[in-house]
Structures are given as C-alpha cells and as structure tokens.
Homo-oligomer: A and B are copies of this chain.
C-alpha cells in the first residue's frame, strides 16, 4: 500500500533488463553512443517530428529548468500555475537557470491555467516599458500537480493565446504518459499540433530509474540547450544508460502500458472511495493522482497497517474520529488491485 509518490515504486523489469543489456563492452560518452541515436529516431517517430532535438537528463527539475532557460531571457517572466512544479517544488531552479527571470502565477480551476486569466496576466506585463519584466513563455503541467488533465482543446486555447503574443510554450510532462492515455490521443496531438514548443518528457515516475527527455520541436534551440546542459552538470558521461532506459520505455508501448496500469489503479481507488460515505474529492482525478478525504479513523487504520501516503490537510491524531482529513494518493505502474482493495477496506474499517 504505497501511494506516497510514483517515484517510490520499483523500476520496471524491462527497463532493468535494458540497463543490463546496455552494459556490453564500450561506448563513446556524452551522448555519442548508438543507443542515443536510436532514441532520437524513436522519439522523432513517436512525435511525428522529424526535426526534433532530443536530450536526456536525470531529473525533472533539470528538464524543466534547462528547457525554460533556453527559451526565456533573464528579464522575462514565465506564465505558469501557482500550483506548478516549477513554482512550488524546484527551490527556485527556474530563477537560477534563467539567470533571474520571474514567474507570473496564473490561476484556474483544478490547477489548470485559465485562458482568460492568462490573457489578463500577459496584457498586464510590458505596459511599463523597461521597468516591468517582459513577457516570456507559457508553461503548463500535464498531468497537473493536482491530478487533472488538460483536454486538447484546453491546451490549444492556451497556446493560441501564446501565439497571439508570440510567446514560446513549454509543457512539463513529468507524467506525460499518464495524461496521454487519459486523453487517448497521440504525442503529436498533445504537443506541437496543439502549439507546444518544448516538452519535458518524464520517465522516472512511470517505471524508469532516472531519466527525462527534453524535446524541442524546433531545432534552433539545440546548441544553446547543449551548452546549458553541460554547464548545469547535466551531461552524463555514461549517457548510454539513460538512453537505454528511455529506449526500453518507448519500446512495445511499455510507457503506455505502465501509464494505463497506474491510471487504472488510481481509478479503482477513486471508484472505491466514491462509494465510501463521507468521502470527498478536492480535485478532478483524471490520471494517477487523487486528492481525497475520508474519516480520521480510516486514516488511523491505514497508518497502523503501514500504508504510505501524504496527509494533505489535517492531523492524524485528533479527538473526532469522524473528521474528514484529506490525502494525496499517487498510484504508480506497479500498484496492485489487491493492495488497493485492502487500502479501501481499511478505510471502511
């Protein structure tokens, strides 16, 4: 019963196997390996983007910050949700990598950026000449940090606004696969066809050991990104082991299979919760994250049984055992129906 995060789960056996297979003999370092070539080809095919520049880094914060730094000037501001990872969970990494750009927070329902609010925030900048920050990229998170998923129309609406103001767009896809299977669309549809310029394409949360791709659909950013990656300490000498993971991840739809598994687990959990009297949902659970509340007694029983997850609001200890405390539950690819049912049973008591 591990629902603390999708980064607490095991690496998928096929990815472990790929790592073992990659460890045959010698390979040139720093991305000049054959697996990286294969991966670039693979990603270009999957995204129907023959000119895409593809890079690998080992963390999501690196992917986001390096991608954003490449498309943001230090005097610009990045438009993003107040509930985005780049704002809340990267210890000012975007500010650091951009050389001191700003983040402008745009509100919306279910941790999504609202188009009207975006337009208003964009219009409010560049009204003070050189004094205010200048308009910079729009960054959206898909799956959002609260578990909702932008529809294709919603992404397009935001990108269309970006286009009006000639601003670049970034998609933080730490849970890209979970969103994709939720929408049942193609990678191209969810990205460049909707107007996205750069993607942080996550692997770590969905069965990999530690690898994220950065994909620029316009090759013009390639050289600058390579410089920023190297000086950020994010160019691994044994890049082949990052490439091996990502290749296995994308082979035979493993990435989609893992994401379907995680989303299905979350759905089973959500469906179960809906049938529990008093259970509440804080956000729309569209993928593999659930923010839901149930009785303190239920939480206490789970705690005693060793279930792992983060309480979102409230304290485990308290007088009123019927008080509803909310939690964040994340299902990874390996979550079993058995454990979910056990989890639900413990809530009910």
User: Is the interface on chain A under 10, 10 to 19, 20 to 34, or 35 or more residues?
Assistant: 35 or more
Residues of B contacting A232 in the complex (Cβ-Cβ under 8 angstroms): 62, 93, 96, 232-233
Mark A99-132 against chain B: 1 for CB-CB distance below 8 A, else 0.
Answer: 1111101000000000000000000000011111
B57 touches A74 (CB 8 A): no
B238 touches A90 (CB 8 A): no
User: What is the copy number of this chain in the assembly?
Assistant: 4
Mark A1-39 against chain B: 1 for CB-CB distance below 8 A, else 0.
Answer: 010110111110000100110011111111000000000
Which of B16, B62, B89, B204 has a CB less than 8 Å from the CB of A132?
Answer: B89
A197 part of interface (Cβ distance < 8 Å): no
User: Which of A158-166, A223-231, A262-270 lies at the interface?
Assistant: A223-231
Given contacts A59-B234, A233-B57, A236-B58, contact A130 B7 (CB under 8 A): no
How far does the alpha carbon of A19 sit from the alpha carbon of B92 in the complex, in Å? 31
B93 touches A96 (CB 8 A): no
Given contacts A59-B236, A130-B227, contact A29 B8 (CB under 8 A): yes
Which of B65, B92, B133 has a CB less than 8 Å from the CB of A74?
Answer: B92
A230 touches B100 (CB 8 A): no
B92 touches A231 (CB 8 A): yes
Given contacts A204-B237, A237-B204, A241-B209, contact A227 B102 (CB under 8 A): no
A230 touches B91 (CB 8 A): yes
Which of B30, B62, B224 has a CB less than 8 Å from the CB of A234?
Answer: B62
Q: Which 9 A-B pairs have the closest CB atoms?
A: A62-B233, A95-B100, A7-B237, A96-B100, A91-B231, A61-B233, A75-B227, A2-B26, A91-B230
